[in-house]
Amino acid sequence: MNESRHDFGGDQHGAWRDYPDQGLSKVLSAALSAFVERGYDASSIREIASRAGLSVPGLYHHYPSKQAILVGLTNAVMEELLRRSRAASAEAGATPSEQFDAVVESLLRFHMFRREQAFVASRETRNMAADERAAYIAQRDEQQRMVDRIVQDGVETGAFRTSYPLDASRAVVTMCVAVSTWYREDGPLTPDELVERYLAIARDTVAAS
């Protein structure tokens, strides 16, 4: 279930850079705050219901279990991430360098402005049932393959000179994802400054020409 759909195409050029409220339901918003503060295991259905302003039976009307709530939240996170990455790629120029800069910037901004969602999705993967975890990993792998293809295209065209394109691609994505663990709005760098600095690091990683 995805309750926070945003469209980034059409006439809204650059909309993938904008981060309005995600539009999560009150149940998913309550679960997010509980999972951030206490973790999945320590958060009870009763606590999530209380935070959402619902009775426990009322919460079960929306989601049959705490596991279903976690899956709903992680699906919302990954589907938004992928839509933003695709929109950034679609708006960028055709060269690997332009594609790389756009998708890396999108990853950085997502992990700044959806840091709690991204952090919970990454940390709580271990608590998903096998099928749900496999589906989450498939979405995560899709994002990685997008960057892999761009870096490999860059090596083939001479735009990137790394001898290890897949390793470099994984390093770049890992760096972007890690932003969710430390970024703070009141930190020393503005979002634009952070993007500029980390894009430079990402380009160095792939040995951009």
Q: What is the per-residue pLDDT for 6?
A: 55
Q: Is the pLDDT of residue 156 over 70?
A: yes
pLDDT of residue 10: 47
- Distance CA(50)–CA(26), nearest Å, equals 11
pLDDT tens, 91-128? 999 999 999 999 999 999 999 999 999 999 989 999 99
CB atoms within 10 A of CB 153: 17
The size of the chain, in residues, is 209
Question: Is residue 28 within 8 Å of residue 38, measured between CB atoms?
Answer: no
Query: CA-to-CA distance for 20 and 57, rounded, in angstroms?
Result: 31
Fold of the domain spanning 68-205: Tetracycline Repressor; domain 2 (1.10.357)
The pLDDT tens digits of the residues spanning 58-97 come to 999 999 999 999 999 999 999 999 999 999 999 999 999 9
The pLDDT tens digits of the residues spanning 2-49 come to 454 555 544 477 899 999 988 899 999 999 999 999 999 999 999 999
Nearest CA to 203 out of 173, 165, 170, 160 is that of 160
Say if residues 172 and 205 touch (Cβ distance below 8 Å): yes
Helix (H, G, I), strand (E, B) or coil at 160: strand
Sequence ranges of the domains in the chain: 68-205
Question: Angle at which helices 191-205 and 96-113 pack, to 10 degrees?
Answer: 130
pLDDT at 8: 57
Q: What is the pLDDT of residue 182?
A: 93
Q: Tell me what pLDDT residue 13 has.
A: 78
Nearest of 26, 29, 7, 10 to residue 18 by alpha carbon: 7
Place of tokens 């096998």: 130
Give dist(CA 106, CA 86) in Å, integer: 9
pLDDT, position 7: 58
Cα radius of gyration (the chain)? 18
Report pLDDT for 22. Answer: 85
